[in-house]
Structure 1
Amino acid sequence: MARNFIDRCFEAVAPVHAVRRSAARTALQFLNSGYGNYGANLTKKSMRGWEYHGGSSKEDIEDNIDVLRQRSRDAYMGVPVAASALKTLRTNVVAGGLMPAPQIDGAFLGLSAEQTEELQEKIIREFSLWADTPECDMDGLGNFYKLQQLAYLGYLMNGDAFAALPMCEQVGQPYGLRVRVMEADRICSPDGYDRLAPCTVRGYEVHNIVQGVETNAEGRVVAYWVCNRHPLSDTSMLDSGLEWTRVEARGELTGRRNIVHVITRERAGQLRGVPVLAPVLEALKQLGRYTEAEINAAVISAMFTVFVQPATATDDRPFGEMLPENMLIDAEDQGSVELGNGAIVGLNPGETVSFADPKHPNAGYDKFTEAMIKQIGAALEIPPEVISKQFSTSYSAARGALNEFWRSCDVQRDDFVDSFCQPIYEEWLAEAVARNRIKAPGFFQDPAIRKAYSGCAWPGPARTSLNPVQEISAATKRVEAGFSTAQEETAQMTGGNYNRNIRQRVAEAKRKREVDEIMDPSSAASEGGNGNA
């Protein structure tokens, strides 16, 4: 900055004032310049204490992901609000598992409506052969819908989830596709450190590896490095024989998916996901500590113990000391006396004890907890009524909270379907067509044809109903006005399938008429006579 004559005079006569003058001139550069006067201000006292150290997605996310995962899992296991938030999301996003509803583009494929419906029904039956049994799970423990719950809850806790798609032939099973859900920790860089420059790893020429995700020179994910067991397991700590397997994201010759990665990215260039609880971990831990302290204080205040001080020394057994020693004396510290429920303990002459009134439970506990839950819920896009499972407000407020929550659930469900359910469904369908169990001409020749056959919707669980009569009336009016379809309304209200329901209702009506004829033959004959007249 050029200095004028006055500045030079100040420097010669009053150096301190010259420094202040220069600092003030520098500060003026940040004033009245958009964010420089607000969020980016460097001179206001309110902003000087704000420590910030920004970096790329690797410095901000991947370098901290191990700590975030472990703290997120710890919060889930020990903080009730955290467990409620994750379980609530799991229940409302995937519930018992998302069911596929094939949506074949019959018009593009040249199929009639009847042919399209028939093929969709056949796909559903074939998919059930694979998805409804534990054989679809590589571990053999749960069907495809249980795997959805496992993968989604792991995604919430760890930030992302992975599933390998190996082929394993088994006697009596028509399909060889298997799904192996893996915890996020197992996808990690070999030997525990990333490679940020081209090098050779385990005989492979790699360009970049960050937290087990390998990318090429263009930044595209090309492979994942999978550890043979959990890096944090006890056996891993005692045995250094950890091994990593490089799994290509897609087969080089076929383009088949070898592994699916469930992730919601927050920043460009991000390769690993952030646990859902990450923004509120500090608040959750503090809330958990506060709750634990309140519980301990309430328990201690409820344990009223009386200490009796005799006027003179005596060898008699203290009055009221009927409890066995192990109830009053700490087994590990024989010199300490524990409080008990209604216990009476004698003291030696001259010894006194005073009780402090703890004033528990704290009268402000509920209000403080509710305020914290509101902030936590806002960050997680879960209304406090939903986290607490308490709808004590008006009908309109409760309905508004549920509608806002369902919008968030719809976004989460779409992300999970796109990254887990649909890719696995497409791999299964490709195997079904290859095994000739489903006829799909041109499936492997034209990507457009394959896309037309692979269309599928994954309706989620039914929405919570606060006033079924009003909601049914509103749904009926939307269908009549053409704003919605019977299929969409059925999926939202009950999670069912409208066409399937209609076919079932026809069958039920037929059976009811048969039962009515058996129970009242005269009525049936009368109706028949009237019809012939």
Structure 2
Amino acid sequence: MASARIARDRLSVAISTDRNAHAIEARTAVREQQLRVVARAHEVTRPSRSRKLARDWGSGNAIAGMDARQIRDQARHLERDLDLADNALNVLVQNTVGSGIDVLSAPRLPGQPINRELALQLDELWDVWWDAPEVTRAHDYGACQQLLARSWLRDGEAFYQDLVGTVPYLEHGGGVPYSIEMLEADLVPLGFNDPARNILQGVERNAWGRPVAYHVYKQHPGDPLGWTTDTKRVSAEVMHCIANLKRLHQVRGLSVFASAMSRFEDVKDYEESERIAAKVAASMTFQIKKGSGEIYQPAGEGLGGVALVQQGVPVRELRMAPGAIFDDLLPGESIESLGTDRPNPNAATWRKEQLRAAAGGIGVSFSSLLLDYNGTYSAQRQELVEKWGSYLMLAERFIAMSVRPQRQRFVEAAVLAGKVRLPRGWSLRHLAASTYVRPIMPWIDPLKEAYAKGEAEDRGWVSPQQNTLQYGNNPDEVLRQRQDWQQQQQQLQPATPAPAEARAQLRADLSRDMLRDI
């Protein structure tokens, strides 16, 4: 018995010691956690009840794999059903590619002048190819650029394939055997992954992450005639991706609406609620103010007015017309108009501020998104200058991913087909040297803009060709038209008038004769 009591006492002491040790360890851990939180330099990294810390969802490819398709579908829904989103896309496309980014040939060796003969040959071939550059023959090159840019901005990415030379069942539209095939992002499956072949989201890459091939559906998955899951492998040498990338090593793009999509949806829901409320308020016109309860008789007796019976229940009808006099009201009744608080005077302000924030997210100017151009010249000019830098960035990215590669492939096809002769010592890079004419910045005050451009040209800061390009014109074509105009003037010009000195002398003689007569 004594030994059992001793063992029990020892066990109690050990348990008490362990409990105290665990309590001390727990308090120490909590204290260390508190010290780590307090020791954080940035307040935003300290969790609190009023601030929820964000978490990282992985790499850019992980995020695109989770959200790209849903964001793409939602962006298309906004384009279809929300005029604001459709207008935002229109503005972006208008200021990125406009009617089409033109290409002016400027073949030359480094440090040498432009070979005008080659430039003229390439420009003539380019003009013919511009009318039918793609496989369906449904769009010219300007429309192709607009559709590619629209898909790139709305869906986050678009694809096109180069078709050079003889292709089965394909007849090239232009004089050069080169055509493009435009593809939507749906045709490259986001869910196609194969680590063994280094395929991620339908894109096959090498060890360095460079795309070497794309795995493409043989038919559009949204085709109403049905589709198959069979894919084909297309080399990245002929197939290219135009993607809106925000992260390093990201493979698939995300829509420009991604960050502003919730705000657009809120504006859409709010406007719909305001429209319904305004319609209900407009339907409510007048009310009949009743008297006290003693003046009423039992139901169905002495209604007054015109009595209608619907399903055995008498209904009162008062016909309203301009200048109507109601002489059949019951004692104590009067007609009053209903005053509503619709339309909501604060709705426009709230909508404007929401769209101002959304405009920054998608990279479009607020005035263009809202179609509100109020303000001073300085304010409008400042907004235009700031946003035009964003449009130039988009245009340069589109040229780098689409227009310049297509131009180089066009020149290569022209040389292979014998349409243009490559001079000795030249490379395709020298022959494909070109000037790309982007959309020009619109003018707020044409006189001020023209004066500024002329002053810059007079001071030697820009060349006349640069100013001509800023107007969206081809400098060579402008010179040819000016020469033609001068020739027409010389042919149609009447007899040469007297010089200014002769006219001045004649006026002086007439004045002297008139004074002599007086």
* TM-score normalized by the length of structure 2: 0.79
Asked if structure 2 preserves the Cα contact closer than 8 Å seen for 1:265 and 1:273, the reply is: yes
- Name the structure 1 match of 2:314: none
Which structure 2 residues correspond to residues 468-507 of structure 1 after superposition, within 5 A?
A: 468-492=446-470, 494-507=471-484
Q: What is the letter of the counterpart of residue 212 of structure 1?
A: G
Asked if structure 2 preserves the Cα contact closer than 8 Å seen for 1:386 and 1:402, the reply is: no
Q: What is the letter of the counterpart of residue 479 of structure 1?
A: E
> Runs of at least 4 residues of structure 1 off by over 4 A?
9-18, 305-312, 314-321, 354-358
- Name the structure 1 match of 2:182: 181
Structure 2 residue matching 1:179: 3-state secondary structure: strand
Quick check: 1:419 aligned with 2:418?
A: no
- Name the structure 2 match of 1:217: 207
- Name the structure 1 match of 2:217: 227
- Name the structure 1 match of 2:256: 276
Q: CA deviation at 1:294?
A: 0.9
1:159-189 superposed Cα distances (whole Å, 9 cap, x missing partner): 0111112244538852221112111111115
Assess, with a 3 A threshold, how the Cα gap between structure 1 residues 12 and 62 changes in structure 2: closer, same or farther.
closer
Quick check: 1:44 aligned with 2:81?
A: no
Asked if structure 2 preserves the Cα contact closer than 8 Å seen for 1:212 and 1:226, the reply is: yes
Assess, with a 3 A threshold, how the Cα gap between structure 1 residues 320 and 276 changes in structure 2: closer, same or farther.
farther
Assess, with a 3 A threshold, how the Cα gap between structure 1 residues 307 and 16 changes in structure 2: closer, same or farther.
farther
How many angstroms apart in 1 are the aligned matches of 2:174 and 2:242?
Answer: 28
Q: What is the letter of the counterpart of residue 469 of structure 2?
A: A
Quick check: 1:162 aligned with 2:142?
A: no
Which structure 2 residues correspond to residues 94-113 of structure 1 after superposition, within 5 A?
A: 94-107=97-110, 113=114
Structure 1 residue matching 2:256: 3-state secondary structure: coil
1:361-389 superposed Cα distances (whole Å, 9 cap, x missing partner): 11111111111111111222322112112
For structure 2, the 5+ residue unaligned runs are 1-15, 291-295, 311-318, 322-335, 503-518
How many angstroms apart in 2 are the aligned matches of 1:259 and 1:506?
Answer: 44
Q: What is the letter of the counterpart of residue 269 of structure 1?
A: H
Structure 1 residue matching 2:248: 3-state secondary structure: coil
Q: What is the letter of the counterpart of residue 93 of structure 2?
A: R
- Name the structure 2 match of 1:451: 429
- Name the structure 2 match of 1:431: 413
Structure 1 residue matching 2:38: 3-state secondary structure: coil
Which of 346, 356, 359 is matched with 1:364 structurally? 346
Q: Which deviates further from its counterpart, 479-488 or 163-172?
A: 163-172
Which of 426, 439, 444 is matched with 1:461 structurally? 439
Asked if structure 2 preserves the Cα contact closer than 8 Å seen for 1:57 and 1:267, the reply is: yes
Q: CA deviation at 1:196?
A: 4.2
Structure 2 residue matching 1:59: 3-state secondary structure: helix
How many angstroms apart in 2 are the aligned matches of 1:294 and 1:14?
Answer: 64
Q: Which deviates further from its counterpart, 180-189 or 396-405?
A: 180-189
How many angstroms apart in 2 are the aligned matches of 1:477 and 1:11?
Answer: 88
- Name the structure 2 match of 1:130: 129
How many angstroms apart in 2 are the aligned matches of 1:317 and 1:455?
Answer: 90
Q: Which deviates further from its counterpart, 99-108 or 14-23?
A: 14-23
Q: CA deviation at 1:453?
A: 1.4
- Name the structure 2 match of 1:77: 80
Asked if structure 2 preserves the Cα contact closer than 8 Å seen for 1:160 and 1:262, the reply is: yes
Q: CA deviation at 1:305?
A: 6.0
Count of matched residue positions in the alignment of Structure 1 and Structure 2: 451
Assess, with a 3 A threshold, how the Cα gap between structure 1 residues 122 and 303 changes in structure 2: closer, same or farther.
same
1:286-335 superposed Cα distances (whole Å, 9 cap, x missing partner): 111101111121122112366889975289999599xxx9xxxxxxxxxx
1:268-299 superposed Cα distances (whole Å, 9 cap, x missing partner): 12111110101111111111110111112112
For structure 1, the 5+ residue unaligned runs are 1-8, 199-206, 251-257, 326-340, 344-353
How many angstroms apart in 1 are the aligned matches of 2:135 and 2:26?
Answer: 71
How many angstroms apart in 1 are the aligned matches of 2:179 and 2:338?
Answer: 63
- Name the structure 2 match of 1:248: 235
Assess, with a 3 A threshold, how the Cα gap between structure 1 residues 318 and 118 changes in structure 2: closer, same or farther.
farther
How many angstroms apart in 2 are the aligned matches of 1:369 and 1:20?
Answer: 52
Quick check: 1:440 aligned with 2:427?
A: no
How many angstroms apart in 1 are the aligned matches of 2:155 and 2:245?
Answer: 13
Structure 1 residue matching 2:178: 3-state secondary structure: coil
**Structure whose CA Rg is larger:** 2
Assess, with a 3 A threshold, how the Cα gap between structure 1 residues 123 and 295 changes in structure 2: closer, same or farther.
same
Q: CA deviation at 1:358?
A: 5.5
Asked if structure 2 preserves the Cα contact closer than 8 Å seen for 1:177 and 1:428, the reply is: yes
Structure 2 residue matching 1:278: 3-state secondary structure: coil
Asked if structure 2 preserves the Cα contact closer than 8 Å seen for 1:213 and 1:221, the reply is: yes
Structure 1 residue matching 2:259: 3-state secondary structure: helix
How many angstroms apart in 1 are the aligned matches of 2:267 and 2:124?
Answer: 49
- Name the structure 2 match of 1:142: 139
Q: CA RMSD in A?
A: 3.3
Assess, with a 3 A threshold, how the Cα gap between structure 1 residues 123 and 28 changes in structure 2: closer, same or farther.
same
How many angstroms apart in 2 are the aligned matches of 1:62 and 1:217?
Answer: 20
Q: CA deviation at 1:107?
A: 4.3
How many angstroms apart in 1 are the aligned matches of 2:412 and 2:301?
Answer: 90
Asked if structure 2 preserves the Cα contact closer than 8 Å seen for 1:62 and 1:210, the reply is: no
Structure 2 residue matching 1:166: 3-state secondary structure: strand
Which of 264, 285, 294 is matched with 2:244 structurally? 264
Quick check: 1:119 aligned with 2:118?
A: yes
How many angstroms apart in 2 are the aligned matches of 1:376 and 1:400?
Answer: 19
- Name the structure 2 match of 1:194: 192
Asked if structure 2 preserves the Cα contact closer than 8 Å seen for 1:11 and 1:18, the reply is: no
How many angstroms apart in 1 are the aligned matches of 2:172 and 2:73?
Answer: 40
Q: What is the letter of the counterpart of residue 181 of structure 1?
A: M
Asked if structure 2 preserves the Cα contact closer than 8 Å seen for 1:159 and 1:275, the reply is: yes
How many percent identity over aligned positions?
Answer: 20
Q: What is the letter of the counterpart of residue 84 of structure 2?
A: V
Q: Which deviates further from its counterpart, 357-366 or 152-161?
A: 357-366
Assess, with a 3 A threshold, how the Cα gap between structure 1 residues 264 and 173 changes in structure 2: closer, same or farther.
closer
Structure 1 residue matching 2:493: 3-state secondary structure: helix
Q: What is the letter of the counterpart of residue 415 of structure 2?
A: V
Structure 2 residue matching 1:412: 3-state secondary structure: helix
- Name the structure 2 match of 1:349: none
Structure 1 residue matching 2:431: 3-state secondary structure: helix
How many angstroms apart in 2 are the aligned matches of 1:362 and 1:104?
Answer: 62
Structure 2 residue matching 1:165: 3-state secondary structure: strand
Assess, with a 3 A threshold, how the Cα gap between structure 1 residues 431 and 232 changes in structure 2: closer, same or farther.
same
- Name the structure 1 match of 2:488: 511
How many angstroms apart in 2 are the aligned matches of 1:212 and 1:358?
Answer: 57
Q: Which deviates further from its counterpart, 12-21 or 118-127?
A: 12-21
How many angstroms apart in 2 are the aligned matches of 1:166 and 1:220?
Answer: 22
Q: What is the letter of the counterpart of residue 35 of structure 2?
A: L
Structure 1 residue matching 2:215: 3-state secondary structure: strand
Q: Which deviates further from its counterpart, 285-294 or 479-488?
A: 479-488
Structure 1 residue matching 2:159: 3-state secondary structure: strand
